[in-house]
Amino acid sequence: MDLEETGNCLADSLSVYDGADTTGRLLGKFCGDELPGDLTSSGHYVYVVFRSNHKRNTGAFSLNWSAVDSQADNNDPTARTN
């Protein structure tokens, strides 16, 4: 990840939402070159928004994703019956 870094990522940013659009919960908004930690969605949708302004081009970003078994992460026995 290498995006222009500004306060509050107002210039260039990568925003990740937990859902199928921007009405989902914001999991994080990122810029600069510091890698965010792992992000986990609550369901099978993640919405990613990349914004860039006309000033100062930097590198780029890439991302990897993988599916997790939600039941393996959930020790609540009542949730397993759903």
Residues in contact with Ca ion by the rule CB under 5 A: 4, 11-12, 53, 56
Strand-pairing partners, residue 19, are none
Q: Which two tokens stand for residue 10?
A: 């107002």
> At its nearest, how many Å lie between Ca ion and the CB of residue 57?
6
3-state secondary structure of 20: coil
The values of phi and psi at residue 5, to 5°, are -105, 120
* Nearest-angstrom CA–CA distance, 17 and 49: 8
- The smaller minimum CB distance to Ca ion, of residues 25 and 33, is found at 33
The least CB distance from residue 50 to Ca ion, in Å, is 11
* Residue whose CB is less far from Ca ion, 25 or 56: 56
User: Which CB, 30 or 41, lies closer to Ca ion?
Assistant: 30
- Quick check: 1 and 35 in contact, CB under 8 A? yes
CB of 35 to Ca ion, least distance (A): 19
